[in-house]
Structure 1
Amino acid sequence: MSPQVEVIETSELGDRSYIAHDGVSAVVVDPQRDIDRVAELLDTRGLTCVMVVETHIHNDYVTGGLALAQRTGARYVVAAADDVAFARHAVRDGDELTAGRLRVRVVATPGHTDTHLAYVVDDGDGPAAVFTGGSLLYGSVGRTDLVDPDRTEELTRAQFRSARRLSEISGAEDAVYPTHGFGSFCSSGSSTGAASGTMGDERRHNDALTETDEDAFVARLVAGLTAYPRYYAHMGARNRQGPGPADLSPVEEVSPEELRKRIAAGEWVVDLRDRTAYAAEHLAGSIGIALGQQFATYLGWLIPWGTPLTLIGEDAGQVTAAQRQLVRIGIDRPDGSALGSPRDLAGSDELRRYPQVTFADVAEARGRDGVVVLDVRRDDERAHGHIPGSVHIPMHSLLERLDDVPEGQLWVHCAAGFRASIAASLLDRGGYDVVFVDDEYAGAVSSGLATG
C-alpha cells in the first residue's frame, strides 16, 4: 500500500501542510506556525511524529517546523545548503531517510528557491507520495521572482527543469502533494484548481510538462508574474532564524479611551467586521479589513511593518480567529483588542460612514462633476480592461501614492469588493470623500460599462 497522507489546509494563505504516515510513524511536511492543528491530528490518529521536513525556506508564512520538532523530539529536516541559525538534520539531493516503514528520498528541485527540495515518500509497496512544495503545483509551478527579481529568468529555467526531473523519476500513479497552489501568491502560471492529483495528471495538464520549449515556458511564466504581498520580505529571514512557538493566548482588551488615543497617535486600529457593516458605521480613524480568507494577506501587505496593531471585534472569537491568521505571517501579538459595536467604543461625534453602491450606480454617476472612479485592482487586471476615464492606483500601492489621488468624490472599485472595501477605509481614514463600490466587476463588463 502507499503511504497514508493527511492534509492540513491553510486556505487563508492558499497553502497545505501534510502528515505522511504508516499508521504509526509520521512525517510532517511544511507545517504552519500554529502547530496545535498538527498536534491535534497526530493525537487523533494515534501517530508519533518522527520527522518534520521543510521543502524550502518559506516566503509566505512563518514555519512551525522547528517548534514542532522540538515539541515532539522529531528530526528536523532542512536543506544543508540553507544558512540557518538552528540545529537541523541537513540533507542533500539523493539522501534517503526512514520513518517507521516509510522511506523518504530527497530530490533537489531549485527554482522557487535556490535550495528547494522535494520529498518522495514510499513504503516499498504501491505508488509513492511526492511532496513538491513550491516546485510542481497542480497544473503549474511556484513563482520564481521571490529570491531576486534580477534572477527570475535563471530560476524559471531551473524551475522548468526541476518539474521535468520530478516527472521523470516518478510513476504515473504517484500522488502529488504541493504546498502552494491553492490561492497562494507563491503560485504562478495557470493552476488547474485541482484539489488532488497524480504525476500522470500533471504530465497531461501541467504547463511545465506539456510545454516542450523551455524558452516559450520561461517567457510565458515571467510575463504572467503579478504583484505579491509586501510582508513576504520578512518571512525568509524569520524562518532562517528559527521561529519559536506561537503565542495564541488571549489579547489584552483596551478601553474606549485608550483606543481613541491609539488612533490619534496614528497606530493601526483594524475593524474586523463585515465590510457592509463597516461602511454603514465605524470608528473614525479605524481601518476596515473584514475577517475572512484574505484578512492576513492584505493586512500584512499594507501595514508598515512594526506598526502597533489593535483589533476591533464584535466578540472575542473574532479577535482569536484574526490572531491565528496573523501569527502565521509573523505578527506575533496584536497590541490590544476592543470588543463591541462602534457605538460601544466611541461617542456619536467619532463615528463615520460612507455610501455603498453598485456598478449600475457608477454608470449613472460617471461624468458628473467631481466624481472620480478609482480602480484599485492590480496592474495585470487593469491591462485586461477598465472603466474608461477611471483612475488607477493598485490597492497595495495606495498608501505610498496618496499624492496621486485626485480631488473629488472617490468611487472606489476592485474586482469583487473586498480590496475596494479596504482601500475605501484607508481613504476615509485620510479624510477623503469616499463611495464604496461593492459589486462584481464582471457585471460592469457585461453591461458595457467596462472595456473588458
Structure 2
Amino acid sequence: MTDLQLVPLVDEGLGNSAYLLDLGDGRALLVDVSLDLRAAWAAARRRGLRPAFAADTHLHADFLSGARQLAATEGTRILASAAGHREFAHTGLRDGDEVDLGGLRLRALATPGHTEEHLCFLLLDGDTPAGVFTGGSLLVGSAARTDLVAPGRTEALARQQYAALRRLATLPDEVAVWPTHGAGSFCSAPPGAERTSTIGREKATNPLLRVADEDAFVTALTGSLGSHPPYFRWLAEVNRRGPEVLDTPPDLPPLDVPAVRSLLADGALLIDVRPVPEFAAAHVPGAVSIPLRPAFAPWLGWLVEPERPLVVVRGAGQDPAEIAWQAAKIGFSGLTGELAGGLAAWVAEGGETTGTRLVRPGPLGRERVLDVRQAAEFAAGHVPGAAHVELGALAAGAGALSREPTVVMCGHGERAMSAASLLERAGHRDVAVLTGGPGDWAAATGREPERGS
C-alpha cells in the first residue's frame, strides 16, 4: 500500500478538520476546505503541491466552502454530490462513482443523514480501502446532527444517518476514518482530543454504533442536539448557489473617529475584539465584546445580524487579516472597517468610555449569577442557584431579563463578557463578569457545583 501523505488542517474555532492529500505527482486533493484557504495554501506550498481536486462531502452549514474559490483561481476540479444541485461547475457524483486521482481512486458513498445529499469519499489504493472521508456522517465517538435541513426532517434524516453509519461499519476495521466535524463543532461532535479514528475503533467505542436498534439510535442522536448559530439556517444554500469568488483578500479599512461616529449614528454596530481585561478596563458604550480567539467566527455569526454594518475595535497586537478572514468564512461581509488608532484614538477625540467590573472566583454574595454556557455544559456542573440563559439567546433576549445586580459567568470569561456587553447594551447596570468557570469557583469556595438543569 502507498504511504499516504495526509495533512489534517484543523480549524479549532469551527471544530472542523479539512484534509490535504499529497497525490505523489505534484498534485493534491483537498477535502472540505473553507473559504479561508490560508492553512491549505501554506500546507500545499511547503510540499510544492498544486490543488488539483477539491471534494466537498456535503453542503456545509457552518462555513463557506473554498472549493469554488480554488476552481476559479487554480482550475481545481470540484467533486461533490450530484444530488446537491450546485449551481456552478463541478463533477457531480452519485453512489459508487469513482474518480481516478492518478494511482489512488476516490469512490463516492451515498450517506445521507447529516444532510440529504451527503457523500463519504472512500480512498482506494488499488483495490484496498485506505481511509474514508466521512464529513458529517461517522465522527469520532458520534455522528453529526440531523436537524439542520428542516425541523420536520430531523427524525427521517436520523434514520438515514443510522443506515449510513451501518454501511460505513462494514468497511474493514483497519480503514482510517477522517471526519470533518470534531470537538468544538456545533454540528454535534463530542468533546475529546481525537479527530481521526479507524472503523474498528469506532465499532468498539462509538456509542451510536453500539445501540440496540434504529429507534434507540434516533433517540440517542436527536436527544443530544444542542443549539446552533442562526447562520446555519442559510449558509448551506449559499454553498449550493456558489460562494462569491474573492478577487482580493478580505480586509479592514481604517476609519477615523468622525467616520465611525457617523456609521454608528446610521445603525452600525461596534464589535470590540480585544481581550476580556482590556474591554473590562474601558470600551465604547454600546460596543459588543467578541474577543478574537479561535472561536471568534461562530460567536460573531451567533450574536450579530449578517446584514448589519460592523465596525471593529481591536488591540494593537491583533491581526486585522485574522478578523476579516474569520468573518468571511461564515459569509459575513458587513465589516465596514476598523477604528483607526483603536480606543486611544476614540478617547483622544473626546469619545466616552465605560468599564465592566471583573470578579475573581469566590463567594458571590447576593448578586444574581447568570451562566451563559451551552445547556449541556450547564447541566454538567454550575454554581448552585445560578440562572441559565445561553449566550446565543441573549442577543435577542437581553432586554427581557429583570434588571438586578448580576455576575455573568461561562467557562473562562470570554462568553461571559460578550453576554455582559449585550446586557449593558440593553440597559442593564451593575453587571460584572466572573474570571473563570464553575471549576474555579469550586476550588475557591470548597463547594461542589450543582448538576442538572
Asked if Structure 1 and Structure 2 have the same fold, meaning a TM-score greater than 0.5 normalized by the shorter chain, the answer is: yes
Question: How many angstroms does 1:318 deviate by?
Answer: 2.5
Matches within 5 A, 1:224-239: 224-239=224-239
Unmatched runs of 5 consecutive residues or more in structure 2? none
Question: How many angstroms does 1:357 deviate by?
Answer: 0.3
| Aligned residue in 2 for 1:62 | 64
Q: Whole-Å Cα distance in 2 between the matches of residues 44 and 386 of structure 1?
A: 46
Which residue identity does 2:229 align to in structure 1? P
Q: Determine if contact 2:373/2:391 at 8 Å carries over to the other structure.
A: yes
TM-score by length of 1: 0.92
Which residue identity does 1:296 align to in structure 2? A
Q: Whole-Å Cα distance in 2 between the matches of residues 438 and 407 of structure 1?
A: 22
Aligned-residue CA RMSD (Å): 2.1
Look up the SS of the partner of 1:187 in the other structure.
coil
Question: How many angstroms does 1:278 deviate by?
Answer: 0.5
Relative to structure 1, the CA distance from residue 394 to residue 49 in structure 2 (aligned partners, 3 Å threshold; closer, same or farther) is closer
Question: How many angstroms does 1:88 deviate by?
Answer: 1.4
Look up the SS of the partner of 2:373 in the other structure.
coil
Q: Determine if contact 1:33/1:245 at 8 Å carries over to the other structure.
A: no
Q: Determine if contact 2:188/2:225 at 8 Å carries over to the other structure.
A: no
| Aligned residue in 1 for 2:450 | 451
| Aligned residue in 2 for 1:378 | 374
Q: Determine if contact 1:263/1:286 at 8 Å carries over to the other structure.
A: no
Look up the SS of the partner of 2:259 in the other structure.
helix
Q: Whole-Å Cα distance in 2 between the matches of residues 164 and 131 of structure 1?
A: 15
Query: Mean Cα displacement is larger for which, 330-339 or 418-427?
Result: 330-339
Which residue identity does 1:292 align to in structure 2? R
| Aligned residue in 1 for 2:141 | 139
| Aligned residue in 1 for 2:435 | 438
Q: Determine if contact 2:399/2:427 at 8 Å carries over to the other structure.
A: no
Which residue identity does 1:202 align to in structure 2? E
| Aligned residue in 2 for 1:353 | 355
Question: How many angstroms does 1:9 deviate by?
Answer: 1.6
| Aligned residue in 2 for 1:218 | 218
Q: Determine if contact 2:307/2:334 at 8 Å carries over to the other structure.
A: no
| Aligned residue in 1 for 2:158 | 156
Q: Whole-Å Cα distance in 2 between the matches of residues 250 and 58 of structure 1?
A: 24
Question: How many angstroms does 1:32 deviate by?
Answer: 0.8
Q: Whole-Å Cα distance in 2 between the matches of residues 216 and 349 of structure 1?
A: 59
Relative to structure 1, the CA distance from residue 250 to residue 219 in structure 2 (aligned partners, 3 Å threshold; closer, same or farther) is closer
Look up the SS of the partner of 1:314 in the other structure.
coil
Q: Is residue 2:28 matched to residue 1:51?
A: no
Relative to structure 1, the CA distance from residue 36 to residue 443 in structure 2 (aligned partners, 3 Å threshold; closer, same or farther) is closer
Look up the SS of the partner of 2:254 in the other structure.
coil
Q: Whole-Å Cα distance in 2 between the matches of residues 318 and 39 of structure 1?
A: 19
Which residue identity does 2:404 align to in structure 1? G
Which residue identity does 1:294 align to in structure 2? A
| Aligned match for 2:425, one of 402, 426, 429 | 429
Q: Whole-Å Cα distance in 1 between the matches of residues 256 and 103 of structure 2?
A: 56
Query: Mean Cα displacement is larger for which, 128-137 or 35-44?
Result: 35-44
| Aligned residue in 2 for 1:313 | 314
Q: Whole-Å Cα distance in 1 between the matches of residues 208 and 387 of structure 2?
A: 37
Question: How many angstroms does 1:273 deviate by?
Answer: 0.8
Q: Whole-Å Cα distance in 2 between the matches of residues 386 and 44 of structure 1?
A: 46
Give the paired residue count.
444
Q: Determine if contact 2:203/2:210 at 8 Å carries over to the other structure.
A: yes
Look up the SS of the partner of 1:81 in the other structure.
helix
Query: Mean Cα displacement is larger for which, 382-391 or 276-285?
Result: 382-391
| Aligned match for 2:111, one of 109, 112, 117 | 109
TM-score by length of 2: 0.92
Query: Mean Cα displacement is larger for which, 198-207 or 40-49?
Result: 40-49
Question: How many angstroms does 1:179 deviate by?
Answer: 0.7
Q: Determine if contact 1:21/1:102 at 8 Å carries over to the other structure.
A: no
Relative to structure 1, the CA distance from residue 4 to residue 266 in structure 2 (aligned partners, 3 Å threshold; closer, same or farther) is same
Q: Whole-Å Cα distance in 2 between the matches of residues 251 and 437 of structure 1?
A: 31
Question: How many angstroms does 1:384 deviate by?
Answer: 4.6
| Aligned residue in 1 for 2:330 | 329
Which residue identity does 1:104 align to in structure 2? L
Which residue identity does 1:328 align to in structure 2? K
Identity %: 35
Relative to structure 1, the CA distance from residue 333 to residue 315 in structure 2 (aligned partners, 3 Å threshold; closer, same or farther) is farther
Which residue identity does 1:207 align to in structure 2? P
| Aligned residue in 1 for 2:130 | 128
Q: Whole-Å Cα distance in 2 between the matches of residues 32 and 49 of structure 1?
A: 14
Question: How many angstroms does 1:427 deviate by?
Answer: 1.6
Q: Whole-Å Cα distance in 2 between the matches of residues 208 and 393 of structure 1?
A: 29
Question: How many angstroms does 1:132 deviate by?
Answer: 0.5
Matches within 5 A, 1:354-433: 354-362=356-364, 365-366=365-366, 371-384=367-380, 386-433=382-429
| Aligned residue in 2 for 1:277 | 278
Matches within 5 A, 1:70-81: 70-81=72-83
Query: Mean Cα displacement is larger for which, 441-450 or 344-353?
Result: 441-450
